[in-house]
Structure 1
Amino acid sequence: MKGRQDFISPLVNPFDIERPIDWSRQFPKRGRIELEIGFGLGEVMLQSAQERPDVNFIGIEQHWERLYKTLKARFEKRAELNEETFLNNIKILRIDARVALERLFEERSINKVITLFPCPWPKKSHVKHRLFSHNFLKLLNSRLEPEGSAELVTDDKKFFKWVLQESPNTGFSWTTEEIAAQFNTKFERKWREEGQETFYKVAFFKKSHVSVPIKKDVEMKAYRLRDFDPQKLQLKDEKADVCVIFKDTLYDPAKNVMMIYAMVTEGHLFQHLRIVIVKTKDFWHIGRAEGQTLFPTNGIARAIKRVYECAKESS
Structure 2
Amino acid sequence: MITIIGSGRVGTAAAVIMGLMKLDNKILLIDIVKGLPQGEALDMNHMSSILGLDVEYVGSNEYKDIEGSDLIIVTAGLPRKPGMTREQLLEANAKIVAEIGREIKKYAPDSIVILTTNPLDAMTYVMWKATGFPRERVIGFSGVLDAGRLAFYAAKKLGISPASILPIVLGQHGESMFPVPSKSYVHGVPLSKLLTEEQLKEVVEETVKAGARITELRGFSSNWGPGAGLAIMAEAVKRDAKRALIASVVLQGEYGVRDVPVEVPIILGKSGVVKVLEVELTEEERQKFMQSVEAVRNLVASVPPSYLQ
TM-score by length of 1: 0.37
Q: Choose between structure 1 and 2 for higher RCO, CA contacts under 8 A separated by at least 6 residues.
A: 2
Q: Which has the larger radius of gyration?
A: 1
TM-score by length of 2: 0.37
Write 1 or 2 for the structure with the bigger share of helix: 2
